[in-house]
């Protein structure tokens, strides 16, 4: 009866394999522990930052609440924060806040969107094409140093006191931060990236879409975020001058009628809108800049 013979075992080979396996396992364990430690550290840092920010905000609101109640400031002119919250609830319940908020947001977002659509292509053209830059630089330098609110009377004279002048003012105020940051972002793209893409046979369109614009996105979004804040601030100022609806009108009308809690409620809503808009833009920036390592 024949038996199946197994090949002779090499003790040196077995010991080498065992040593290699043990080494790999030993390497993976520290890596896993290191990743877990990094994640725990990152979570701890985020938690501390959130607690610190929350503490600052709560401290500010506490001072706002107790300063009028203890007589540190005149409660006629600075009402307690709880009264502002009550006024805000009443404005929401009556539907007055939604009317003013929708009016302001529609004007601000419409002008903001037009500014983005105009400023980014124009900024790319100015940064990329020398003749365009030479032709437009003088006029850009002139208007970039002219405050938007200084031109409010001009817009009112040319376009009237209605919606057109307010939207035009928002467009003007939002255009220059986006335009200038787009120019800066395109001009500071690493020349090595452009040369590499050109050597690979990229067309001008492919070069813009796959190299220049992605590299310039962080700088462009800096301008967009600045313009987002400007769209709200400039519009509110314009609504204080001539409007029948909007957060700026709400604040001015409340102040004139001595409805001080309503006035502060409008200011709080403007702050919340600004923070929310900035958070949305930061999320969009991260979405379009996922390739960044830092």
CATH for 141: 1.10.3720.10
Helices (H), the chain: 11-69, 81-94, 96-128, 130-144, 152-159, 163-187, 191-199, 204-207, 213-241, 247-256, 260-288
Look at residue 127 and tell me if it is in a domain: yes
Say what the pLDDT of residue 92 is.
92
Residues 6+ apart with CB under 8 A from 238: 149, 152, 165, 166, 169, 170, 248
Residues 53 and 194 in one domain: no
Same domain for 282 and 234:
yes
Distance between terminal CA atoms of the chain? 71
Q: Give me the count of residues in the chain.
A: 294
- Please give the Cα distance from 165 to 23 (Å, whole number): 72
36 vs 20, more confident: 36
Q: Are residues 23 and 99 in the same domain?
A: no
pLDDT of 22 strictly over 50: no
Confirm whether 7 is domain-assigned: no
Rounded to the nearest 10°, the torsion over CA 131, 133, 139, 143 is: 160
Check residue 218 and give its pLDDT.
Answer: 86
**What per-residue confidence (pLDDT) applies to 33?**
65
Rounded CA gap, 176 and 224, in Å? Answer: 10
pLDDT surpassing 70 at residue 294: no
Q: What angle do CA 77, 250, 102 make, to 5 degrees?
A: 145
Asked whether residue 150 falls in the same domain as residue 33, the answer is: no
| 182-231 pLDDT per residue, tens | 998 888 888 888 788 888 878 777 787 788 888 888 889 889 999 988 88
Please give the model's pTM, rounded to 2 decimal places: 0.75
Residue range 40-79, pLDDT digits in tens: 666 777 777 778 778 888 888 888 889 888 888 888 888 9
Q: Which residues, in sequence order, are CB contacts of 264 under 8 Å at separation 6+?
A: 79, 84, 87
CB-count exposure of residue 76 (10 Å: 0-12, 13-18, 19+): exposed
CB 227 within 8 A of CB 112: yes
* pLDDT mean over 283-292: 74
Residue in the structure block whose two tokens are 């996105």: 217
The count of other CB atoms within 10 Å of the CB of residue 172 is 21
Mean pLDDT across the stretch 92-113? 91
Q: What is the per-residue pLDDT for 198?
A: 82
69 & 85 share domain: no
> Does residue 4 have a pLDDT over 70?
no
Q: Are residues 62 and 142 in the same domain?
A: no
- Split into its structural domains, the chain has a count of 2
Q: Are 236 and 273 in contact (CB under 8 A)?
A: no
Q: For residues 87 and 64, state if they share a domain.
A: no
Confidence grade of residue 179 (pLDDT, cut at 50, 70, 90): very high
Percent of the chain clearing pLDDT 70 (strictly above): 83
Domain range for 199: 81-288
Q: How confident is the model at residue 181 (pLDDT cuts 50, 70, 90)?
A: very high
Beta carbons of 235 and 166 less than 8 angstroms apart: yes
- What are the tens digits of pLDDT across the range 270-285? 999 988 998 898 888 8
């Amino acid at each position: 009866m024949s038996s199946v013979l197994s090949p002779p075992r090499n003790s040196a080979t077995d010991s080498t394999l065992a040593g290699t396996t043990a080494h790999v396992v030993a390497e993976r364990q520290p890596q896993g522990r290191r990743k877990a430690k990094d994640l725990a550290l990152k979570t701890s840092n985020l938690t501390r930052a959130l607690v610190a920010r929350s503490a600052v905000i709560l401290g500010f609101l506490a001072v706002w609440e107790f300063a009028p109640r203890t007589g540190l400031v005149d409660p006629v002119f600075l009402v307690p924060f709880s009264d502002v919250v009550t006024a805000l609830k009443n404005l929401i319940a009556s539907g007055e806040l939604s009317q003013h908020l929708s009016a302001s947001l529609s004007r601000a977002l419409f002008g903001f969107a037009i500014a983005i659509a105009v400023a980014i292509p124009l900024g790319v053209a100015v940064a990329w094409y020398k003749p365009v830059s030479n032709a437009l630089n003088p006029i850009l330098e002139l208007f970039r140093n002219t405050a938007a609110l200084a031109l409010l009377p001009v817009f009112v004279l040319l376009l009237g006191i209605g919606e057109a002048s307010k939207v035009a003012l928002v467009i003007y105020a939002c255009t220059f931060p986006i335009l200038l940051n787009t120019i800066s972002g395109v001009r500071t793209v690493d020349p090595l990236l452009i040369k590499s893409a050109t050597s690979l046979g990229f067309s001008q369109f492919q070069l813009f879409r796959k190299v220049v614009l992605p590299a310039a996105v962080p700088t462009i979004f800096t301008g967009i975020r600045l313009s987002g804040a400007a769209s709200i601030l400039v519009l509110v100022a314009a609504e204080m001058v001539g409007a029948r609806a909007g957060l700026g009108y709400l604040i001015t009308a409340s102040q004139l009628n001595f409805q001080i809690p309503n006035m502060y409620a409008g200011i709080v809503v403007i702050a919340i809108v600004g923070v929310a808009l900035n958070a949305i833009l930061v999320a969009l920036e991260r979405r379009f800049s996922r390739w960044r390592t830092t």
